[in-house]
Amino acid sequence: MINAIRDIGAYLRENNGITEVDIVRSLVNKIEGDTVKEILYIDIKDNGEIETQSEEFYGDITTKALFYQAGNDAQGGALRADFYKEDSKEIEKFDKKIKTTLAYCGIENNYNQVKDIIYQKISNQHKNFIVVILLNGKYPYELFKDKFLDKMYATRFKAISGKHICHFCGEKKTGF
């Protein structure tokens, strides 16, 4: 099933000029409005060192960070701090989002340090930012793009029972 979807994507890229970045961009969440003003980069190095840096928010960061959150599902290397609320249940949910983001990036052992950095920024400044996890200066897109696409294809596209004619190639096969 995933191979068929990848074949569709390859066909589109070859014949219509659609790039892999375009595909990822269509799957990640967009951040509309002006509630998010800043990007907080947390760069975790192989030697255990953690560096932080901030810059003004720009929309395409959601693609670089593979940002996707819908209900209880979260993918990628970013989370929105503007969703933080000072309520015990909401704090639990927010902490879980931090854990999920770090687990996605394979660095859950840095949870306490990252959590402290995020909470310090919220308490000392504001919560109108998105956190982007970098690994040795690399964006999640550079490291986890294939993992992201595999998961999105497996969960967002479902096969239709029986054989159907493909709108792209005209062959009769499994449809989505």
> Tell me: the pLDDT tens digits for 40-92?
999 999 999 999 999 999 999 999 999 998 776 788 999 999 989 989 899 99
Q: What is the average pLDDT score of the chain?
A: 86
What residues does 51 pair with on adjacent strands?
43
Give tens-digit pLDDT for 115-130.
Answer: 999 999 999 989 999 9
What residues does 50 pair with on adjacent strands?
44
Structure token pair of residue 6:
């990848």
Give tens-digit pLDDT for 4-31.
Answer: 766 766 666 666 667 778 878 888 889 9
Structure token pair of residue 81:
């701090």
Measured between alpha carbons, how far is 83 from 60 in angstroms, rounded to an integer? 19
Query: Strand (E) positions, 20-72?
Result: 38-44, 50-56, 68-70
Containing domain of residue 83, as a range? Answer: 2-175
Measured between alpha carbons, how far is 107 from 109 in angstroms, rounded to an integer? 5
User: Total structural domains in the chain?
Assistant: 1
Q: Are 65 and 31 in contact (CB under 8 A)?
A: no
